[in-house]
């Protein structure tokens, strides 16, 4: 791997983490004039148009066709494929709605920290449902991530028992977003054995847009001011830029390194939130983040690293573990 590929892969992975980290900040500025369902519907509409109309994606689809192999597992029935696509569509659509809604009740950094519960649930679902291997390094990652969540929310957990309904509802929305994202991830894992990511998303994006259309209020777009319009545009193109950067980084750089960089997304949210608060304190109020909370954020990132990068480490005991079917 050349030095140029290393630099490009790092920059693309950093761009992915930056865009995902900045997303809740943009959403938070739009929500006062636009409900979360309408915002998510608009994002899915843009994503659907992009994935169907972009010439580069059409070329990638043709070149990424998976050839049939004698050793490949038998393709599932069409009925099962459509069922999995329906589960994945409902999971991703609900994840977008829950996550974007939680931003109205929690800080951007808190939303991203709480979202890291999704990989834990996906890992556990893979172990118990798909019978995937569970490595010791992943167990350590789960423990670190859960401990980091408790540390980060140490000063705010009392609000759950103190009657702060807004904070409790925000936590419920954020937790629900993690659960349905794991459901989407499990369905996609099975689908990826026989379909390319582009083919899957070409079904999911339009179906999510159509499913949310009856609940959306497009007239809200006319209520945004200039700054909110910029944030709205950023939110709509965020998925396209972040997903495109992530895919390109994975194609030219080691997957473990890309996963390690992307796992720092919550730290980007925390840093950007602090920066915006210093510039516009009225628009971006900042929750008090003590030393324990900051330590918790770093611990969550370490746990996410263990979960994501663990299977990619070439440890001595890995050859003796059952291999995952591809």
Residue with tokens 């990132």: 301
Question: Which of 105-109, 215-219, 279-283 shows the lowest per-residue confidence on average (mean pLDDT)?
Answer: 279-283
CB atoms within 10 A of CB 251: 12
Residue scoring higher pLDDT (311 or 172): 172
Residue 97 pLDDT greater than 90, yes or no: yes
Taking only Cα atoms into account, the Rg of the chain, rounded to an integer number of angstroms, comes to 20
Question: Which of 33-37, 195-199, 204-208, 317-321 shows the lowest per-residue confidence on average (mean pLDDT)?
Answer: 317-321
User: Mean pLDDT over residues 282-296, rounded?
Assistant: 79
Indicate if the alpha-carbon torsion angle 267, 271, 277, 283 is positive or negative: negative
Contacts of 28 (CB under 8 A, 6+ apart): 103, 104, 108, 284
Question: Which of 21-30, 54-63, 110-119, 195-204 shows the lowest per-residue confidence on average (mean pLDDT)?
Answer: 54-63
User: Mean pLDDT over residues 258-284, rounded?
Assistant: 86
pLDDT at residue 320 in the model: 42
- For residues 216, 266, 158, 281, the Cα torsion angle rounded to the nearest 10 degrees is -70
User: Mean pLDDT over residues 130-158, rounded?
Assistant: 87
pLDDT at residue 184 in the model: 93
Question: What mean pLDDT, rounded, does the chain reach?
Answer: 84
Q: How far apart are the first and last CA of the chain?
A: 24
CA distance readout (Å), 273 to 151, 173, 265, 268: 19, 20, 12, 8
User: Mean pLDDT over residues 307-318, rounded?
Assistant: 63
* Chain centre to alpha carbon of residue 272: 18
Question: Which of 137-151, 154-168, 262-276 shows the lowest per-residue confidence on average (mean pLDDT)?
Answer: 154-168
Question: Which of 93-102, 108-117, 242-251, 266-275 shows the lowest per-residue confidence on average (mean pLDDT)?
Answer: 242-251
Of residues 167, 146, 172, the one with CA closest to residue 157: 167
pLDDT digits (tens, 9 = 90+) for 204-246: 999 999 999 999 999 999 999 999 999 999 999 998 898 888 8
User: Mean pLDDT over residues 108-135, rounded?
Assistant: 90
The number of helices, as runs of H, and strands, as runs of E, in the chain is 14, 0
pLDDT band at 4 (very low <50, low <70, confident <90, very high): low
CA distance readout (Å), 127 to 5, 15, 97, 311: 34, 31, 27, 13
Would you say 159 and 167 are in contact if contact means Cβ atoms under 8 Å apart? Answer: yes
């Amino acid at each position: 791997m050349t030095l140029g590929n290393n630099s490009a892969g790092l920059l693309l992975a950093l761009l992915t983490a930056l865009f995902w980290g900045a997303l809740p900040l943009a959403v938070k500025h739009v929500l006062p004039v636009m409900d979360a369902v309408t915002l998510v519907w608009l994002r899915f509409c843009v994503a659907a148009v992009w994935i169907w109309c972009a010439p580069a994606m059409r070329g990638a689809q043709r070149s990424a066709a998976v050839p049939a192999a004698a050793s490949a597992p038998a393709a599932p029935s069409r009925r099962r494929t459509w069922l999995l696509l329906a589960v994945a569509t409902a999971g991703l659509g609900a994840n977008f709605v829950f996550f974007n809604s939680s931003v109205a009740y929690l800080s951007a950094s808190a939303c991203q920290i709480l979202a890291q519960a999704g990989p834990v649930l996906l890992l556990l679902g893979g172990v118990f449902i798909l019978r995937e291997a569970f490595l010791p390094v992943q167990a350590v990652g789960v423990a670190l991530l859960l401990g980091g969540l408790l540390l980060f929310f140490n000063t705010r957990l009392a609000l759950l028992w103190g009657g702060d309904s807004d904070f409790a509802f925000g936590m419920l929305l954020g937790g629900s977003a993690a659960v349905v994202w794991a459901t989407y991830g499990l369905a996609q894992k099975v689908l990826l054995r026989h379909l390319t990511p582009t083919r899957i998303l070409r079904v999911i994006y339009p179906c999510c847009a159509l499913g949310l259309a009856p609940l959306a209020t497009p007239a809200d777009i006319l209520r945004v001011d200039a700054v909110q319009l910029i944030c709205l545009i950023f939110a709509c193109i965020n998925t396209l830029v972040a997903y495109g950067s992530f895919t390109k980084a994975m194609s030219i750089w080691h997957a473990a390194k890309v996963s390690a960089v992307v796992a720092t997304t919550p730290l980007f949210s925390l840093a950007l939130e602090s920066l915006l608060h210093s510039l516009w304190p009225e628009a971006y109020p900042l929750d008090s983040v003590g030393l324990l909370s900051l330590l918790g954020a770093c611990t969550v990132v370490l746990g996410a690293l263990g979960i994501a990068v663990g299977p990619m480490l070439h440890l001595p005991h890995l050859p003796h573990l059952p291999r995952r079917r591809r």
